[in-house]
Amino acid sequence: MSATTAAWLVLACPLAGTILLGLFGRALPGRIPGLVGTAAIAGSFVFAILAFADLQSRGEEQRQLVSSLYDYAVTGSIDVQMSILVDPLSILMMLVVSGVSMLIHLYSVAYMGGDRGYVRFFAYLNFFVFSMLLLVAAGNFFLLIVGWAFVGAASYLLISFWYRRTTATAAGIKAFVINVVGDVGLTLGAFFILKESGTLDFLGTFKQAEEISGANLTAGLILLLVGAFAKSAQIPLHTWLPDAMEGPTPVSALIHAATMVTAGVYLIARMHPLFEQSAAAADVGTIIGAVTLFVAATIGLVATDLKRVIAYSTMSQIGYMVMGVSAGAYVAGLFHLMTHAFFKALLFMAAGSLISAMGGEQSLDRMRGFRKAMPFTFLCFCVGGLALAGVPPFSGFFSKDEILLVVGDEGGWHWILYVVGYVTALMTAIYTWRMIFRAFFGDPVPEAVELEHGHIHHVDVPVNPATGEEEDTDVGFPGPEHHIAERALPMKIAMGTLAVLATVGGVVLIPKTTTWLDTFLEPTFADAPHHDPSDGMIWFGLALGAALGVLGIFIAYTIWGKANGEIAVRLRERMPAVHRFLINKWYFDELIELLVVRPAGWFGRFGQQTFERVFVNGTLVGGTSGIVRAGSAAVRALQSGFLRAYAALLLVGLGAVVLYFLLQA
C-alpha cells in the first residue's frame, strides 16, 4: 500500500466511525458504541503505521508526497484540490494523534460508561479525531482552514458536552468565540500569503518562499500566528483553556492537552520555510511563547482545581513548544509535542481516575492521602509528574532540554528566554509535585478511607463542582456512576501504555546518542538551518535540567509534603498580594472583559435597543395593538409613522449616495 493511500484511509476511518455512530449508534447495545469508536481510531493508527513504513522505504528525496482526491474548486485564480501532503512531519503528527486518541478512546469506554450521552460522546470524539487528522494531513491552506474550523467546532461540542450544566455551556461558548477569532486570523493570513504567492498549495507556496518575503508576508504570518495562539492557548488568547476543563476528563486529555492545542505548534513547524523569511514574525512567536510558558506556570503554582492546574501546565508546556519552533528548534519542538502528548494525557487520565474516586469533586483542597487507596493511579501520576518535571531518564527531560538548548544556541537576546525557560522548569517541577503531595500524601480524606475499604465514594445529590449547584444525572449532565483505573481494565491498559511511553519516549532523540527523530524529520526540515551547540552547553543544560527537576520536587515536598501543608498556608499569609494576583490568573479575564467584552456588549445593546425598539418592537407592538379592524389595517399601517420613517431613511440614504457622487464630480 502506498503511503498516500494509507494516509487517505487514516482519514477515512474516523469519518466512517462518526457517521456510523451518528446514524446507528443508538441501536447498538451497552458499550459496543465505545468499542466501535475505538476500533475506528485503531484502524487509523494501523494505517498511519503503514504509511510510515512505506515512507521510510523510499529514498530521502521522495518523502514528500502530494495526493489529490479530486479537484475541489478550480477557477481563474484559485486552484484548490482535495489534496493531502504526506511527509515525515504529517506522518509524525498522524501517528501521535491517532495513537494517543486510540488510548484515550479506550480509556473512555470505561470512564464514560455511566453517562447517558455515551453514543454522542464517541460520535463527537471520532469527529474530532477526523478533523485533527485532516488538519495535519492537509496539503493546502484551504483544507487546513477546514480542519482548523472543524477542530474548533468539535472542541466546542465536547466542552459543552454536558450541555445542561450552565458552566459547561458558558465555557464552550468562550472557547468557540476565541477559536473563531483564531479562524479569522488563519483565513486572513492565508489570503495575505495567497496574494503574494498566487497559490494555496503548501509546496507551491514554499517553493517561492524566498521571493515573497516582504511586509505582506510578515502580516500574513502574524495573522497565522493569531490562529495558532488561539488554538494553542497562548497569551492573550488563552483564557478559554482553563475553562475548557468543564468538559469530560478524557476530552481534556485528548483535545486540551495532547492534540488540538498543539495545532499551533504544528502550524508554525509546517510554515517554517515562510517563517525563515520573516524574522519579525518568528520573533513574535518566540516572545509570546516565552511569556506564556512563564505566566502559565506561575498560575499553576496556586490554582486549586486539579484539572486546571494541569491545564495551566499544558499552556506552559505549549509555550515551550511555540517558543521552540518559532526560534528554529523545529525538531525539538515536535519532540516535546510528542512526549508531552504522552505524559500530559497520562496525567489527565490519572486525574480523571482520582476525580472519580472523589465522586466528581475536583478541588485539591478536598483531596488528601489517596496513595494507599489508589496505588495504580498514584504510580501513573508519579510517572507523568516525573516526565513533566523533567527528571531523567523520563521523556520530558530530553525534549524540554532540547528546546532550550537550541534557543540558547541562538545567542543574543535569546539568552533571556533560555534563563526564563529554566526558571520555569523549576516552577514546573514544583507545581506538578504540589498536586501529587497534596492529593496522595498526608492523612486520607473520608473518600480515600472509603475506597481503602473497597467502596467508591458515591454522592447522593450530584452537584456542579464549580458552583455547588444541585444537578441531575440525566442526559446533559455527568452520569451517576464513577469509574476508577483500579477497577476498570480498559482504563488500566490505556494508562499503563502511556506510562511506558512517557517513561521511554525520550529515547528517539538523546543528545550524543540517538538521532532517530532528527533523521526521520530531515526531509521536511532539510532547508532549515542546523544547530550544532557545543558539548559543554549540552552537558550543562542536561545537568541543570535534572538538578532543577529534583530541586523542584524537593521544594514541593518541603512545602506540601510535610505536616499536611502548613508551610503553604504560612507562605500564603506572608505574601497575600502575590497570591491574590496569581489566583486571579494575572487578571487576564478581567482585562479582556474590560477591553473586549464590555465594548462588544455596548455594541450589542445598542444594536438591540436601537434596532429592536425602533424597527422591531415599534412596528410589532405598534402594528398589532394599534390596528383593530382589518379594514382599517392598511390605512393605519400607512399612518403609523413607521412607514414614513422608512421612506425618510431611504431618502436620507439616497441623498448620501448622490452627495457622494456630486463630491466626486
Sole binder of another protein in the list 56, 558, 608, 639 (CB under 8 A): 608
Among 204, 392, 533, 623, binds another protein (CB under 8 A): 623
Q: Does 126 bind another protein (CB under 8 A)?
A: no
In the complex, the smallest distance separating the C-beta of residue 263 from another protein, rounded to whole angstroms, is: 15
The SS3 assignment for 361 reads coil
For position 547 contacting another protein by CB under 8 A, the verdict is no
Map residues 460-479 to x or -, x wherever contact with another protein holds by CB under 8 A: ----------------x---
Among 46, 72, 359, 514, binds another protein (CB under 8 A): 72
Check binding of 597 to another protein (CB under 8 A). Answer: no
Cβ proximity to another protein, 543 vs 649, nearer residue: 649
Residue 163 in contact with residue 476, Cβ under 8 Å? yes
Residue 187 in the binding site for another protein (CB under 8 A)? yes
Closest to 481 (Cα-Cα) out of 367, 351, 360: 360
Q: Which stretch binds another protein (CB under 8 A): 64-72, 311-319, 411-419, 438-446?
A: 64-72
Member of 57, 77, 534, 625 binding another protein (CB under 8 A) = 77
Closest CA to 507 of 516, 499, 498: 516
If binding is defined by CB under 8 A, does position 75 make contact with another protein? yes
Question: DSSP character for 245?
Answer: G
- Cα distance between residue 155 and residue 255, in whole Å: 7
Binding-site member from 146, 170, 203, 287 for another protein (CB under 8 A): 146
User: How does DSSP assign 296-342, residue by residue?
Assistant: HHHHHHH--BHHHHHHHHHHHHHHHHHHHHHTT-HHHHHHHHHHHHH
Binding status of residue 649 toward another protein by CB under 8 A: yes
Using CB under 8 A as the binding rule, whether residue 611 contacts another protein is answered as yes
Based on the shown chain and the rule CB under 8 A, indicate whether residue 624 belongs to the binding site for another protein: yes
C-beta separation of 325 from 225 below 8 A: no
Residue selected from 39, 170, 180, 578 as contacting another protein according to rule CB under 8 A: 180
CB atoms within 10 A of CB 606: 10
CB of 635 to another protein, least distance (A): 9
> How many CB atoms are located within 10 Å of the residue 634 CB?
10
Q: Which of 26, 62, 191, 207 binds another protein (CB under 8 A)?
A: 191
Selected binder of another protein within 27, 29, 30, 70 (CB under 8 A): 70
Is residue 162 close enough to count as binding another protein by CB under 8 A? no
| 647 in contact with another protein (CB under 8 A) | yes
492 to each of 103, 104, 248, 437, 654, how far by Cα in Å?
10, 11, 18, 22, 72
- Give yes or no for residue 646 binding another protein (CB under 8 A): yes
Is 74 a binding residue for another protein by CB under 8 A? The answer is: yes
Q: Are 327 and 407 in contact (CB under 8 A)?
A: yes
Burial of 621 (0-12, 13-18, 19+ CB in 10 A): exposed
Q: Counting every residue, how long is the chain?
A: 665
Question: Count of CB atoms within 10 A of residue 60's CB?
Answer: 10
- Contact segment (CB under 8 A) with another protein among 25-33, 52-60, 139-147, 378-386 equals 139-147
527 burial type by CB count under 10 A (0-12 exposed, 13-18 middle, 19+ buried): exposed
Does 170 bind another protein (CB under 8 A)? Our answer is: no
Can you give the three-state secondary structure of 583-649, one letter per residue?
Answer: HCHHHHHHHHHHHHHHHHHHHHHHHHHHHHHHHHHHHHHHHHHHCCCHHHHHHHHHHCCHHHHHHHH
The nearer residue to another protein, 375 or 653, going by C-beta atoms, is 653
- Where along the sequence are the contacts to another protein (CB under 8 A)? 70-78, 142, 145-146, 149-150, 153, 163, 169, 176, 180-181, 183-184, 187-188, 191-192, 194-195, 476, 603-604, 607-608, 611-612, 615-616, 619, 623-624, 627, 630, 633-634, 637-638, 643, 645-647, 649-650, 652-654, 656-658, 660-662, 664-665
